[in-house]
Structure 1
Amino acid sequence: MKLYKQRLLSDAQLKRLSEHQYSCQSCSILDTFLQSYWNWLVSKVPIWLAPNLITILGLVINIITALILVWYSPDAKLEAPRWACALCGLGLFIYQSLDAIDGKQARRTGTANPLGELFDHGCDSISTVFVALSACIAVQLGYYPGWMFFQCFCAVTLFYCAHWQTYVSGTLRFGRVDVTEAQFTIMGILAISAIFGPSVWSTKGTSVLSPVIPFSMVLVPAFIIYQKSTQEIYQNHPALYILAFGLVAAKVTNRLVVAHMTKSEMDYMDWSLLGPTMLFLNQYFNTFVNEYYVLWLCLIWVSVDLMRYCYQICQEICDHLHIELFRIPYPGGPQKVIPPTSSALEKNGSGGKKQQSDEEDSMPLLDNASH
């Protein structure tokens, strides 16, 4: 009995597919810089090696090296071995290199066809998942499940939006800072984790690099949005642009000061980052809304969020210390003397006793002054 197999593509779709012409525009900084390396690399590839085989080979290497990280840190909290981070970074570099030369090999062998484009982008869509996950494991982002969820699915969403833009415009466009730059950034993260260990990023301790991540979440989007803007949003409105991102940086800096003074961790997630996200997503949706209006919306959001944060922090500290922010309760009245703690006395030794005797000597003067 012959089983009926439903076709996924109709005759009309197959006909239009055969007439499809690949269209791509790229002004990527690294793509231009790496062209000589890719041309040299493809010249070393045997002429009989099929382009699609190059693509799938790179994907398999990328997946295997990423799964090694997943094996050692399935919850993205455990510290994966440094060699696993290095291996994953190497796997991503190999994948990126092979992905860049498969089209060159197709043109070199005269085998370029629509299936090659589909195969290339299909492999990229799968690789995006593993690359995003490996980056989260390398920085132990499992301690922040909400942020890890956002990072991974944001990468997948942005990849989809890039091809949605291609579907609408007919041309795949790469900005000055795009896929290649993102891949090399993740390679850098994996390299740092391989050299210093994944815990170097973690706020669960005294890591020096942990405060760098929240600030990089402000600086990197600011640069990418500026570079990818088709309406030259920064060039036309520099003051507005700097105010919007500067206030986000001010909020992150305030949180760093609070974390230092309270001897606590500094969370990666911050609601002020929603402002830059508006601009970021708007660009990937083919600038659906005029960037000038989105920039104003971003500025209003980050301003309100900063004021809310500052008010709440000051209010909570005032309530705890029983003080007022802009008012002295008893001007000219008796001053409140805070005695040194026992640990301070032990640390100072005799100096602590001397300080205490000095305070006792000064007490009558304070009493007299109050009278």
Structure 2
Amino acid sequence: MALLAYRDKHILSAQQLRKLSEHKYSCFSASLLDPLLQPWWNWLVSQTPLWLAPNLITIVGLILNVVTTLILICYSPNGVEAPPRWTCLLCALGLFIYQSLDSIDGKQARRTNTSSPLGELFDHGCDSISTVFVALSACISCQLGHYPNWLFFQCFCAIALFYCAHWQTYVSGTMRFGRIDVTEAQFSIIAIHLVSAALGPEIWLTKIPIVGLSWNYTILVFITFGYTLNIINFLKMFTEGGSGKNGSSVAVSIASTSRNNEAKNNYETCMKT
């Protein structure tokens, strides 16, 4: 009985399944790097076998990113000990591969005519896991373990921004990427890993003569400033960016339309009887 009750509670209704099938992914990007990387992504997806499922591409990229980060964590579990340079290089390579595969899974889905809302959900679910590992690897690579509170704050902000990006999609109906967004952040982290691999992670602890702060602390200031600007933009979108009636979210608008249609159908049924 308990199993049946759980099933009835969690399985989507016919109306919910219909709404899910009607969902169309909408995206707007003003990214600086995306147009420059499109030729690489297009070439890469053209070399991908048609039998390769888009979800498999997504999960392979995620596994590589997670494994390379775990190797880095094994050598510097608290972010204080300097990890071997090759682990930073490995993280840079893992993140680049993940970024490339994450950019072509949607292209592969359209190429093979297998796009679906559940595929989009799977992709974004993998991205949510990857966000944690990408932020953590960057913090370890630039020795943020010396500032544990800042390390936690940076990881928290990365997760919060990911959540806010999907919240604004819920409100506006469109996934929006700014001029400096996910792709730029990922390549900045790749650059951090490459610097650590070339010069050693200890380089981030050296002081900048004019400023008097270490390189990693200076980076923290700039990143926090960027987080603040993004949060302000998100708050504006949450309050003013709804595409539904009176600025409501898309979900509220759809629910309202569904209720109105249901009331109309009930009225017409009553009139017929």
Residue 174 of structure 1, CA deviation? 0.4
User: 1:104-155: CA deviations, max 9, x gaps?
Assistant: 0011111111111111111000000000000111011111111001100000
User: 2: distance between equivalents of 1:129 and 1:193?
Assistant: 20
Matched AA of 1:282: I
Alignment of 1:59-70 (within 5 A): 59-70=62-73
Q: Give the count of matched residue pairs.
A: 235
Residue 14 of structure 1, CA deviation? 1.9
User: 2: distance between equivalents of 1:119 and 1:54?
Assistant: 11
Matched AA of 1:127: S
| 1:315 alignment partner in structure 2 | none
- 2:232 aligned with 1:282: yes
- 2:31 aligned with 1:28: yes
Between structures 1 and 2, the one with greater helix share: 2
Alignment partner of 2:10 out of 8, 11, 16: 8
Matched AA of 1:79: A
Residue 213 of structure 1, CA deviation? 3.6
Residue 27 of structure 1, CA deviation? 1.2
Matched AA of 1:91: G
Matched AA of 1:156: I
User: 1:210-264: CA deviations, max 9, x gaps?
Assistant: 6334444455666x5xxxxxxxxxxxxxxxxxxxxxxxxxxxxxxxxxxxxxxxx
- 2:155 aligned with 1:152: yes
SS in 1 for 2:10: coil
Contact kept in structure 2, 1:136 and 1:142, CA below 8 Å? yes
User: 2: distance between equivalents of 1:179 and 1:157?
Assistant: 13
Contact kept in structure 2, 1:282 and 1:288, CA below 8 Å? no
- 2:168 aligned with 1:165: yes
User: 2: distance between equivalents of 1:106 and 1:14?
Assistant: 20
Contact kept in structure 1, 2:165 and 2:175, CA below 8 Å? yes
SS in 1 for 2:176: strand
- 2:143 aligned with 1:140: yes
User: 1:273-327: CA deviations, max 9, x gaps?
Assistant: xxx83x431112245689xxxxxxxxxxxxxxxxxxxxxxxxxxxxxxxxxxxxx
Q: Percent identity?
A: 61
Matched AA of 2:81: L
Q: Greater relative contact order (Cα 8 A, min sep 6): structure 1 or 2?
A: 2
1:129–1:221 CA distance, 2 compared to 1 (3 A): closer
Alignment of 1:328-367 (within 5 A): none
| 1:347 alignment partner in structure 2 | none
Task: Report the TM-score, using the length of structure 2 for normalisation.
Answer: 0.80
SS in 1 for 2:205: coil
User: 2: distance between equivalents of 1:59 and 1:83?
Assistant: 20
Contact kept in structure 1, 2:143 and 2:216, CA below 8 Å? no
Matched AA of 2:233: Q
Residue 3 of structure 1, CA deviation? 4.3
User: 1: distance between equivalents of 2:73 and 2:208?
Assistant: 23
SS in 2 for 1:285: helix
Alignment of 1:241-280 (within 5 A): 277=228, 279-280=229-230
1:217–1:78 CA distance, 2 compared to 1 (3 A): closer
Alignment partner of 1:121 out of 121, 124, 128: 124
Contact kept in structure 2, 1:221 and 1:280, CA below 8 Å? no
Structure 2 segments unaligned to the other structure (5+ residues): 241-273
Matched AA of 1:8: H
Compare CA radii of gyration and give the structure with the larger one. 1
Alignment partner of 1:91 out of 80, 88, 94: 94
Matched AA of 1:32: P
SS in 2 for 1:173: strand
| 1:238 alignment partner in structure 2 | none
Matched AA of 2:22: E
SS in 2 for 1:45: coil
User: 1:47-74: CA deviations, max 9, x gaps?
Assistant: 1000010000100000000000111111
Contact kept in structure 2, 1:23 and 1:172, CA below 8 Å? yes
Structure 1 segments unaligned to the other structure (5+ residues): 225-275, 291-371
SS in 1 for 2:33: helix
User: 1:177-231: CA deviations, max 9, x gaps?
Assistant: 100000000000010111111111125xx68896334444455666x5xxxxxxx
User: 1:309-362: CA deviations, max 9, x gaps?
Assistant: xxxxxxxxxxxxxxxxxxxxxxxxxxxxxxxxxxxxxxxxxxxxxxxxxxxxxx
Contact kept in structure 1, 2:168 and 2:238, CA below 8 Å? no
User: 2: distance between equivalents of 1:282 and 1:167?
Assistant: 17
User: 1: distance between equivalents of 2:239 and 2:118?
Assistant: 34
User: 2: distance between equivalents of 1:180 and 1:95?
Assistant: 11
Farther-moved stretch of structure 1 (281-290 vs 32-41): 281-290
| 2:22 alignment partner in structure 1 | 19
Residue 161 of structure 1, CA deviation? 0.4
| 1:82 alignment partner in structure 2 | 85
